[in-house]
């Protein structure tokens, strides 16, 4: 197994992150990329809040969409971009529809992410990393923070209070995941890694989308590098897509589970936590997304941004 740090561009001046609106999180400027013996590549980035912990062999891993947050982080990111005129409301409507369509296709063709990976290139090409992080910080404060499940955040805090590290695991670009982790006071984020050249995304991915089995592989690689004992680790998710991740750790918890995950949780005797109630559960189902849905919306945003640049 090889782990290597990848330099990220120098962003805006580093400021101490307090999690309050208007305060910019400090830049880590480095994403660690690890490749295992089978050629699987994973990437993770610590927040500047990360420090040595008393319980160094245990950690917790939290899915983001509908587990830590109501709805999909990339959906709210797109909403924030729309409000800043990066693309139109009709683009956003197509984004939501494509999310639903790709979610259904992902269920029918589980594990086949080749088309999704190709489509992802349209989103990242030409975007500057520091711009994405800056926008992610602003949009988190405006749209994502009010949608964090307080109950899930409390579960994460319990691990921190016990001296354990807490990582988000998301299909979103690792830089966006890291911003969310920093705002929540967590250790870091595991996410999809996009190649960066001279401070801008090239449009090529480093490894695969962080989805399904890729999450379990990434957590296993991180455990090897960081000296974690996976039998002492916990994982939290809402989706049956994350069964490989939940099965890789000693303690699996289904949070706001879909029907299939609830069935699996009962079968395996896993703990179930549900923070949804009535209308709220229905409301958050619309912006729900799988990794392929993330790509569909990202493509829409990327193409719309390119169109805006041409017209500008």
The two structure tokens encoding residue 143: 């749209």
The phi and psi torsions of 200 (rounded to 5 degrees) equal -130, 150
Q: What is the DSSP string of 204-241?
A: EESS--S-THHHHHHHHHHHHHHT--GGG-EEEES-GG
Closest CA to 60 of 277, 251, 285, 273: 251
Cβ neighbours around 88 below 10 Å, total: 13
Over its C-alpha atoms, the chain yields an Rg (Å, rounded) of 18
Closest CA to 195 of 169, 217, 175, 224: 175
State the Cα–Cα distance between residues 23 and 15, nearest whole angstrom.
Answer: 7
State the Cα–Cα distance between residues 293 and 98, nearest whole angstrom.
Answer: 6
The two structure tokens encoding residue 248: 């890789």
Q: Which of 36, 63, 229, 258 is catalytic?
A: 63
Closest CA to 221 of 60, 42, 53: 42
The two structure tokens encoding residue 312: 């500008």
Q: Which of 65, 91, 130, 242 is catalytic?
A: 65
Question: Is residue 65 annotated as part of the catalytic site, yes or no?
Answer: yes
Question: Is residue 258 annotated as part of the catalytic site, yes or no?
Answer: no
Q: What are the residue numbers of the active site? A: 63, 65
């Amino acid at each position: 197994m090889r782990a290597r740090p990848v330099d990220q561009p120098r962003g805006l001046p580093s400021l101490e992150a307090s999690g309050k609106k208007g305060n910019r999180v400090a830049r880590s400027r480095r994403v660690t990329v690890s490749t295992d013996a089978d050629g699987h590549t994973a990437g993770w980035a610590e927040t500047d809040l990360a420090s040595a912990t008393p319980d160094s062999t245990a950690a917790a891993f939290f899915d983001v969409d509908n587990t830590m947050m109501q709805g999909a982080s990339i959906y709210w990111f797109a909403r924030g971009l729309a409000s800043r005129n990066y693309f139109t409301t009709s683009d956003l409507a197509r984004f939501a529809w494509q999310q639903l369509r790709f979610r259904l296709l992902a269920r029918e063709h589980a594990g086949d992410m080749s088309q999704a990976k190709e489509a992802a290139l349209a989103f990242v090409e030409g975007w500057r990393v520091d711009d994405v992080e800056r926008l992610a910080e602003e949009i988190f404060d405006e749209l994502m923070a009010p949608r964090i499940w307080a109950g899930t955040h409390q579960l994460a805090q319990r691990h921190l209070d016990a001296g354990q590290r807490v990582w988000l695991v998301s299909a979103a670009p690792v830089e966006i995941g890291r911003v969310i982790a920093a705002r929540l006071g967590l250790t870091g984020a595991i996410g999809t890694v996009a190649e960066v050249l001279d401070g801008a995304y090239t449009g090529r991915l480093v490894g695969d989308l962080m989805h399904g089995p890729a999450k379990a592989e990434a957590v296993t690689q991180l455990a090897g590098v960081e000296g974690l004992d996976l039998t002492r680790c916990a994982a939290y998710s809402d989706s049956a897509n994350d069964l490989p991740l939940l099965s890789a750790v000693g303690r699996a918890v289904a949070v706001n589970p879909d029907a299939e995950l609830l069935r699996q949780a009962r079968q395996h005797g896993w703990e179930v936590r549900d923070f949804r109630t009535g209308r709220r559960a229905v409301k958050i189902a619309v912006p729900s997304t799988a990794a392929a849905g993330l790509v569909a919306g990202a493509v829409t945003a990327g193409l719309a941004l390119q169109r805006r640049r041409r017209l500008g």
